[in-house]
């Protein structure tokens, strides 16, 4: 069928439509191949509908994108209309960029209060993250926390049901940075910055900070900002103790570019698209 001409005389199919695609969480290809014969796969949802639901373009414009060879399903360009896909399994790309078509994933930032254990349920009945999640977010989302904070430590902890993102964020290979503010005993000076950046010897090997800032010094105590990219148990407390400044109070304020900001302890908020994008990027998804 001949495509309708636009007012400027260019047929729609020749115009470069902008994709509104949100980058997807994963860029790898999943195993199932969609047959080039759309009739052979009758389950699933039509590709143009999936693209429209993901906010890439209107259905009509999604059809034009398909016509133009801009859409891939599981690594193969699909130019036929009517192909059906499974949004939970199939990997869909527009212009080579993976599109997030799986609405099942959830991402939240919790400000874990002091006294709460980093578990989803606690065998000993102690207060835990699971209690906060079930109070704040309707049940059944299968959320889990990414990494841990000591019960005594307050601050930012990610909650998600996206296992791949969670695994990668916890993997040392990606060196995802974490920032903490510690209130310590002792009036810190520049030598603390040098000591932590050069590294201190701990029982389980040396540990060094990427960035250290003395924020405040007052009446025998100091506030120190420490950024590092490792996640050994009690690492910040142990490093500061080894440097001669025992921690009295510790809060995690940032994970990569995601900040706690003004979020109150015990509250949960959804990650925004920019934050999510930046986390995917940090772990090469």
Shortest reach from residue 149's CB to ligand URA, in Å: 4
Judged by beta carbon, residue 102 or residue 179, the one nearer ligand URA is 179
Q: Is 253 in the site for ligand URA (CB under 6 A)?
A: no
Judged by beta carbon, residue 49 or residue 241, the one nearer ligand URA is 241
Shortest reach from residue 253's CB to ligand URA, in Å: 12
> Residue 168's CB: how many other CB atoms inside 10 A?
20
Q: Decide if 273 is catalytic.
A: no
* 3-class state of residue 237 by DSSP: helix
The one catalytic residue among 67, 150, 152, 210: 150
Judged by beta carbon, residue 41 or residue 249, the one nearer ligand URA is 249
Residues contacting residue 186 through CB under 8 Å, at least 6 positions apart? 220, 221, 222, 244, 245, 246
CA gap 113, 156 in Å, rounded: 9
Structure tokens at 91: 């990997």
Q: Which residues of 240-262 are buried (b: 16+ CB within 10 A; e: fewer)?
A: bbbbebebeebbbbbbbebebee
Binding mask 219-248 for ligand URA (x = CB under 6 A): ---------------xxxx-----------
Shortest reach from residue 85's CB to ligand URA, in Å: 42
Shortest reach from residue 212's CB to ligand URA, in Å: 14
Judged by beta carbon, residue 43 or residue 201, the one nearer ligand URA is 201
Binding mask 166-205 for ligand URA (x = CB under 6 A): ----------------------------------------
Cross-strand pairs, 196: none
Strands (DSSP E) contained in the chain are 45-46, 71-73, 76-77, 84-85, 92-94, 97-98, 107-112, 144-146, 154-160, 178-185, 200-202, 205-207, 211-218, 221-228, 247-255, 258-259, 268-270
Judged by beta carbon, residue 149 or residue 276, the one nearer ligand URA is 149
Binding mask 117-156 for ligand URA (x = CB under 6 A): --------------------------------xx--x---
Residues that bind ligand URA (CB under 6 A): 149-150, 153, 234-237, 250
User: Residues with catalytic annotation?
Assistant: 150
């Amino acid at each position: 069928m001949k495509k309708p001409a636009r007012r400027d005389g260019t047929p729609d199919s020749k115009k470069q439509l902008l994709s509104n695609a949100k980058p997807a969480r994963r860029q790898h290809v999943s195993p199932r191949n969609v047959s080039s014969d759309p009739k052979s796969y009758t389950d699933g949802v039509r590709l143009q509908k999936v693209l429209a639901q993901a906010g890439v373009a209107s259905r009509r414009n999604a059809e034009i994108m398909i016509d133009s060879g801009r859409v891939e399903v599981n690594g193969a360009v699909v130019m036929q209309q009517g192909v059906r896909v499974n949004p939970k399994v199939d990997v869909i790309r527009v212009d080579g960029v993976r599109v997030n078509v799986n609405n099942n994933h959830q991402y939240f930032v919790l400000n874990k209060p002091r006294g709460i254990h980093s578990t989803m349920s606690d065998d000993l009945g102690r207060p835990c993250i699971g209690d906060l999640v079930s109070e704040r977010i309707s049940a059944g989302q299968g959320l889990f926390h990414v990494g841990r904070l000591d019960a005594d430590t307050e601050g930012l902890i990610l909650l998600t049901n996206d296992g791949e993102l969670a695994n990668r964020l916890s993997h040392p290979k990606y060196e995802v940075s974490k920032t903490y503010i510690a209130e310590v005993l002792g009036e810190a000076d520049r030598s603390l910055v040098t000591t932590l950046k050069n590294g201190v010897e701990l029982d389980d090997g040396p540990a060094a900070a990427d960035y250290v800032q003395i924020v405040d010094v007052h009446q025998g105590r100091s506030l120190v900002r420490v950024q590092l990219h490792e996640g050994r148990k009690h690492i910040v407390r142990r490093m500061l103790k080894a440097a001669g400044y025992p921690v009295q109070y510790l809060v995690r304020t940032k994970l990569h570019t995601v900040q706690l900001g003004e979020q109150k302890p015990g509250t949960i908020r959804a990650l925004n698209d920019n934050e999510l994008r930046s986390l995917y990027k940090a772990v090469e998804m």
